[in-house]
C-alpha cells in the first residue's frame, strides 16, 4: 500500500489535522498521536508526520535534501 500524501487530504482531513494543533505564542504543539515524540497524523491508508504536513500545507513541497528542524527543540512542535 502506498504511503498517503498531503495532496490527498480532503476538507474533512484538513479540519481534523488542524484540530490537533495547539497554537501557542511560541510553538504549534501537536495534540494527536506521537511516535518517538514526533506528531503523526493517521489516515485510513497510513500516517504522515505532522510537522511535514504542516510545512507542505503552509509553505509547499519539501525540497528533497531539506531537513525540517524544530528550532525550539520541542519534537511535538
pLDDT higher than threshold 60 for residue 1: no
Determine what percent of the chain is predicted with pLDDT higher than 70.
97
What are the backbone angles phi and psi of residue 47, rounded to the nearest 5°? -130, 155
Query: According to the model, what pLDDT value does residue 38 have?
Result: 87
Domain that holds residue 48: 1-77
Predicted confidence band of residue 67 (pLDDT cuts 50, 70, 90)? confident
pLDDT higher than threshold 60 for residue 69: yes
pLDDT higher than threshold 70 for residue 49: yes
Counting the structural domains of the chain, the total is 1
Amino acid at each position: 500500500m502506498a504511503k498517503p500524501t498531503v495532496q490527498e487530504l480532503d476538507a474533512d482531513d484538513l479540519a481534523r489535522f488542524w484540530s490537533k494543533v495547539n497554537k501557542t505564542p511560541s510553538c504549534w504543539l501537536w495534540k494527536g498521536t506521537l511516535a518517538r515524540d514526533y506528531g503523526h497524523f493517521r489516515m485510513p491508508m497510513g500516517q504522515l508526520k505532522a510537522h511535514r504536513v504542516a510545512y507542505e500545507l503552509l509553505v509547499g513541497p519539501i525540497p528533497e535534501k531539506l531537513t525540517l528542524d524544530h528550532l525550539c527543540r520541542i519534537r511535538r512542535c
